[in-house]
Structure 1
Amino acid sequence: MAPTLLPLRSATSRWVFAMLAMGAAALAGAQQAATPVAGERGVNEWLMRMQEASRLRSYVGTFVVSSSTGSMSSARIWHAGDAGQQIERVEVLTGAPRSTFRRNDEVVTFLPEHRVVRTERREALGLFPNLLKSSDTSIPEFYGARRVGAERVAGFDADVVQLIPRDALRFGYRVWSEKRSGLVVKLQTLDAEGVVLEQAAFSELQLDAPLRADKLAQMMAPPHGWRVERSDVVKTSPAAEGWALRTAVAGFKPLSCYKRSAAAGAPAGSIHWIFSDGLASVSLFVEPFDRARHGQEGMLAAGATQTLTRRMDEWWLTVVGEVPPQTLKAFAQSLERRK
């Protein structure tokens, strides 16, 4: 059962909210750590180029997300950015109507069927078209990279790059990077046997579109008569909430931890703890156990996203990530209550 702390994102939004970059510090760090083989780009050099393209280029396009389970979703995206500001508009084309704007970490979602506008602060943790989730420069310890060919995607020539995991705790990726700019135009998540678990790709793309960030920002104002709902999430630390990991999961470093107040509808003590290895992310949702709401323990797979649920005495744990099941189990087994 999905945690009440924060809603699990749909496949579309999970890919969309990677448009933000992590800043010049991340680029500088990656550049220092890059150790390419003679004549080839190293993994950080490839990622740095892709990240810069996703930050600084304006583009309009339609992208489609599909998974091995047969699910498919699509959205239209408008993105404008410079060194100081990233802003995009995303119009979902499948399912219930929804329009989402993001300006740096500010997210505004319009739900026309309910005449509701939701506002919140949210970190960028998706994968498409910006792969990097943090300024972590240890990525080469856990992934290798090699160019495996060239193809055309949405009318653009692209290098095909394989990101190969060095252990069984993470998935691999096949990335199509537009030759001229470096922008990721297609991405596949692969399991250990090379089977495609999930794919995101532009079906149509206009690079260097004449977009103005201020015009997109003006569209973020709530329409007259719509109800505005504001998220009541505050930053905290696992130690302050009484939680810790006995043993770190190799490569995954804590990024942030949040809690939601009881006034916002979450049970007291609920937290959301986020980890990343620089590419993949894992979220730990912990809340008080409620027999009426929480179902059976188990593991669920939906494309590249794996979900583990488990009872821990008087607590209910949900672990979610685009990682193999054994990675989620490692987090669940290491989590402990300290107070």
Structure 2
Amino acid sequence: MPFFGSGRALLVVSAVSLFGLCYAAAPALGADVENPTNASSRTDSGATVPGVQSVFDCRALNDAPSAHTPVQWFERSIWAAHCYVYEARAVRISGPNVVSLSLSRDIRDGVERDRLHILDGPSRSLVREGGTARFQLSESGDAAAPASPEALAAHLGKLYRFQFDGQERIANRTALRLLMRPADDMRYGYHLWLDQATGLVLKRVLLDEQGRPLETYQLVELTPPELYDGEVRLRQPVSSAEPSWKPSWLPPGFVAQPLMSMVGVEGVSRQHRFYSDGLVTISLFVEPVPEDGGLRPGVHQLGASYAAVKHLEEGDAQMQVVVVGELPPEILVRVADSLEYSRKASRNGLSQDSSSRQDALEGRSSS
């Protein structure tokens, strides 16, 4: 399923997903300062930090109780993704494509700095500072705060089944295998290999509906990880006006996350919104159709991700809609087909949460 025309939005999402793949098993999860299962936006003195969504006190890992259950190990992997400094080499395998990567992770003054360098083909590097935001169960009310570990575990427990799957040696380190099976046919499963000493993700495999590998990410070399002796602060997501386009249907468990508004390379306004079930995300882009005709409507493949593209009318303007995610393509098509234009949101930016959640998947074919 090749794609044609302007693909800047797809390239942006591809880069973002690569960062998420390499630096966290599930960036939506978080943990507590007193006990490595939660995190807050407060310092040791109890003061709220402006512009900070969560604070991970990595020193808590020194006295943390041992993880025993699959969910406890999963939560520990999120702490590890934020609290360890290391360098690594890795490979990403998607179908016939193999990409070699160099990873560097540092923490300075409580701010995470990740650098990813692609070793194959043209020299390319990606840099991210400030970490990733934590999952929110709702856009408004008490649930709009970062989800507590109990609430998040209960949420994910309705969508995935966690179980141990033995041990294996990865990158010369002992790893625990963790299998996450989806509870429905609207999302993929995951196989994680977690470092027994730190909880870092050493290998991650995305599994299709039949349990076959769609994409593999694996460390092949890792310097001894060093635990950061201090607090790591995650930046507060930047919110903006409510997009005028929004889906009336999402797969069960997916919740709108803080909004972002981007300006394209040519200065064209692009609306961006993303939704998450706490583990995987759906990115939605809406922008005027480029002069070159934009992307061909239909389904396009980006490694293990798919993009559903539609052209819609907004008054006299023709808009291009791109829905991207590591989900079955028919799910993304259904989300794109459910988009509705909100004149009220367009006028004043008021939030209008979509409440439609259907349990049964309707059959659809992509063009």
Q: TM-score, normalised by structure 1?
A: 0.73
Work out which of the residue numbers 250, 253, 275 in structure 1 matches 2:252: 250
For residues 15-56 of structure 1, what are the alpha-carbon distances to aligned partners after superposition, in whole Å with 9 as ceiling and x for unaligned?
235497865459328xxxxxxxxx96143x232111111221
Structure-to-structure mapping, 1:167-178, within 5 angstroms: 167-178=184-195
For residues 113-169 of structure 1, what are the alpha-carbon distances to aligned partners after superposition, in whole Å with 9 as ceiling and x for unaligned?
xxxxxxxxx8699xxxxxxxx747111110111111111001011111110000111
Would the aligned equivalents of 2:165 and 2:178 in 1 still touch at CA under 8 Å?
Answer: yes
Would the aligned equivalents of 1:286 and 1:318 in 2 still touch at CA under 8 Å?
Answer: yes
Would the aligned equivalents of 2:299 and 2:309 in 1 still touch at CA under 8 Å?
Answer: yes
Q: Which residue of 2 aligns with 1:60?
A: 87
Would the aligned equivalents of 1:142 and 1:167 in 2 still touch at CA under 8 Å?
Answer: yes
Percent of aligned pairs with the same residue?
26
The answer on 1:15 being equivalent to 2:43 is no
| Aligned partner of residue 252 in structure 2, secondary structure | coil
| Aligned partner of residue 259 in structure 1, secondary structure | strand
Structure-to-structure mapping, 1:63-82, within 5 angstroms: 63-68=90-95, 70-81=96-107
**What is the alpha-carbon distance in structure 2 between the residues aligned to residue 211 and residue 147 of structure 1?**
28
| Aligned partner of residue 268 in structure 2, secondary structure | coil
| Letter of the 2:12 counterpart | P
Would the aligned equivalents of 1:21 and 1:54 in 2 still touch at CA under 8 Å?
Answer: no
**What is the alpha-carbon distance in structure 1 between the residues aligned to residue 157 and residue 13 of structure 2?**
29
Q: Which residue of 2 aligns with 1:188?
A: 205
Q: CA deviation at 1:202?
A: 0.3
Structure-to-structure mapping, 1:201-280, within 5 angstroms: 201-209=218-226, 235-238=239-242, 241-261=243-263, 265-268=266-269, 270-280=270-280
Q: Which residue of 1 aligns with 2:73?
A: 46
**What is the alpha-carbon distance in structure 2 between the residues aligned to residue 249 and residue 211 of structure 1?**
37
**What is the alpha-carbon distance in structure 1 between the residues aligned to residue 294 and residue 336 of structure 2?**
17
Would the aligned equivalents of 1:187 and 1:199 in 2 still touch at CA under 8 Å?
Answer: yes
| Aligned partner of residue 329 in structure 1, secondary structure | helix
Q: CA deviation at 1:291?
A: 5.9
Structure-to-structure mapping, 1:12-161, within 5 angstroms: 12-13=18-19, 15-16=21-22, 18=24, 24=31, 27-28=37-38, 41-43=69-71, 45-68=72-95, 70-81=96-107, 84-105=110-131, 135=147, 137=152, 138-161=155-178
> What is the count of residue pairs matched by the alignment?
281
| Aligned partner of residue 259 in structure 2, secondary structure | strand
Q: CA deviation at 1:102?
A: 2.6
Would the aligned equivalents of 2:28 and 2:279 in 1 still touch at CA under 8 Å?
Answer: no
| Aligned partner of residue 28 in structure 1, secondary structure | coil
The answer on 1:309 being equivalent to 2:315 is no
**What is the alpha-carbon distance in structure 2 between the residues aligned to residue 271 and residue 298 of structure 1?**
20
| Letter of the 1:260 counterpart | M
* CA separation of 1:173 and 1:160: change in aligned 2, threshold 3 A: same
Q: TM-score, normalised by structure 2?
A: 0.67
**What is the alpha-carbon distance in structure 2 between the residues aligned to residue 175 and residue 85 of structure 1?**
26
CA-atom RMSD in angstroms? 3.2
- Structure 2 stretches lacking a partner, 5+ long: 40-66, 136-145, 231-237, 344-367
* CA separation of 1:278 and 1:82: change in aligned 2, threshold 3 A: farther
Q: CA deviation at 1:210?
A: 9.4
Q: CA deviation at 1:209?
A: 4.9
Q: CA deviation at 1:171?
A: 0.5
| Letter of the 1:334 counterpart | S
Q: Which residue of 2 aligns with 1:221?
A: none
Would the aligned equivalents of 1:61 and 1:205 in 2 still touch at CA under 8 Å?
Answer: yes
Work out which of the residue numbers 319, 327, 332 in structure 1 matches 2:331: 327
* CA separation of 1:185 and 1:331: change in aligned 2, threshold 3 A: same
**What is the alpha-carbon distance in structure 1 between the residues aligned to residue 262 and residue 306 of structure 2?**
23
Q: CA deviation at 1:242?
A: 1.7
For residues 252-279 of structure 1, what are the alpha-carbon distances to aligned partners after superposition, in whole Å with 9 as ceiling and x for unaligned?
11113222347x52424x2111111111
**What is the alpha-carbon distance in structure 2 between the residues aligned to residue 14 and residue 307 of structure 1?**
17
